[in-house]
């Protein structure tokens, strides 16, 4: 009878299951690693909160901030600035006083109908320079109720699937090697297969 493992075609499973599992594990690793690596290049990684910048930025999105000269900030830029109730990340809609001295910024959330109080240059901490779109959904999952357990289970499940796929691949290759060896194809390279008879 044909061994059960010989009927397994692991190449397609390896191509899709193994690659997807590896990609998920890599994405999970990058979620934490990016927070450690970015500061070495002068960036600050931050997580957005609230709905004031929707639809462009959702609560839980991961963004990159970088300290910038206030003279380089223009209308349309998104800045992070300090005020009494914490750090705010809103879009600059107007720059005042840039010609006469220190600029003053008028900011407003994309999802807010009225502007914020004027922002002095000394309040500005950084300018938004990019977003890490693949990490946003992972961060929202991690922050949700019970999200850590789900997140950990998915990572462990992906890693186990990757190991299982390659184990099945190894078994399938081994099951093919046995009949070849029995037929005399396991001889050293270059040697003709034996026909079972005596030479002469």
Confidence band, pLDDT 50/70/90 cuts, at residue 118: very high
What gap in Å lies between CA 61 and CA 86, rounded to an integer?
A: 18
Computed on alpha carbons and rounded to an integer, the radius of gyration of the chain in Å comes to: 29
Higher pLDDT, 150 or 63: 63
State pLDDT tens for residues 50-69. Answer: 999 999 998 888 899 999 89
Question: b/e for 76-110, b at 16 or more Cβ within 10 A?
Answer: ebbbbbeeeeeebbbbbeebeeeeeeebbbbbbbe
79 pLDDT more than 90: yes
Domains of the chain: 42-132 (2.10.109.10)
104 pLDDT more than 50: yes
Higher pLDDT, 37 or 87: 87
164 pLDDT more than 70: yes
- State how far Cα 184 lies from the chain centre: 50
State pLDDT tens for residues 18-61. Answer: 666 666 666 666 666 667 777 888 888 888 889 999 999 988 88
pLDDT at 139: 67
Long-range contacts, 108-117 (Cβ 8 Å, 24+): 109/52, 109/53, 110/52, 110/53, 110/54, 110/55, 110/56, 110/57, 111/51, 111/52, 111/53, 111/54, 111/55, 112/52, 116/88, 116/90, 117/83
């Amino acid at each position: 009878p044909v061994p059960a493992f010989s009927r397994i075609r692991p190449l397609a499973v390896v191509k899709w299951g193994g690659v997807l599992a590896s990609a998920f594990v890599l994405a999970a690793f990058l979620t934490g690693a990016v927070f450690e690596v970015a500061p070495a290049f002068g960036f600050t990684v931050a997580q957005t909160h609230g709905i004031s910048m929707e639809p462009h930025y959702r609560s839980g999105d991961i963004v990159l901030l970088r300290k910038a000269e206030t003279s380089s900030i223009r209308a349309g830029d998104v800045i992070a600035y300090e005020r009494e109730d914490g750090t705010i990340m809103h879009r600059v809609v107007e720059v005042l006083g840039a010609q006469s001295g220190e600029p003053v910024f008028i900011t407003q959330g994309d999802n807010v109908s009225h502007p914020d109080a004027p922002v002095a240059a000394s309040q500005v901490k950084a300018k938004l320079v990019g977003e890490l779109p693949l990490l946003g959904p992972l961060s929202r999952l991690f922050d949700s109720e019970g999200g850590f357990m789900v997140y950990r289970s998915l990572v462990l499940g992906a890693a186990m699937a990757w190991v299982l796929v390659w184990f099945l691949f190894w078994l399938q290759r081994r099951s093919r090697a046995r009949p070849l060896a029995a037929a005399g194809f396991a001889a050293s390279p270059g040697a003709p297969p034996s026909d079972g008879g005596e030479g002469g």
